[in-house]
Amino acid sequence: MSGFALVQAAVIGVVVVFSAWQAFRKLLPQSSRRLLVGIVAALDRPGRSAAARRLGRWLQPAEAKAGGCGSGGGCSSCSGCAPAKPVADGADRRPLHFRSRQ
């Protein structure tokens, strides 16, 4: 295998792995978050090297860094537990307009 073919295979492999990770995050957000938290927990242990702990803190999901619903901002920080506001009659209702392709 030549050097060019090896570099080409490595670049294609990186692109495929990155695309698969992005699809995993988009289609299964809870599972990807749980997997990422598990990886972070394994990396950010007291016995690990400083570089591994730094990588673990960098990979930590944004929700964990912010502290979640109970920190500072109260329940309104994530809008996850608050009930949806009822829609008033006629408010925020717009008719759909379909256009045919020509």
Specify if 78 maps to a domain: no
Specify if 99 maps to a domain: no
Domain extent at residue 46: 3-60
**Nearest one of 31, 50, 53, 25 to 41, comparing CA atoms:** 53
Specify if 43 maps to a domain: yes
Question: 23-68 pLDDT, tens per residue?
Answer: 999 999 999 889 988 988 888 888 889 999 998 888 887 766 665 5
Q: What is the pLDDT of residue 44?
A: 86
Whole-angstrom distance, CA of residue 25 vs CA of residue 63: 15
pTM of the entire predicted model:
0.51
Specify if 17 maps to a domain: yes
Specify if 83 maps to a domain: no
pLDDT greater than 90 at residue 18: yes
Q: Count structural domains, the chain.
A: 1
Confidence class for position 10, pLDDT limits 50, 70, 90: very high
Specify if 94 maps to a domain: no
> What is the token pair recorded at 83?
């009930």
Specify if 27 maps to a domain: yes
Specify if 97 maps to a domain: no
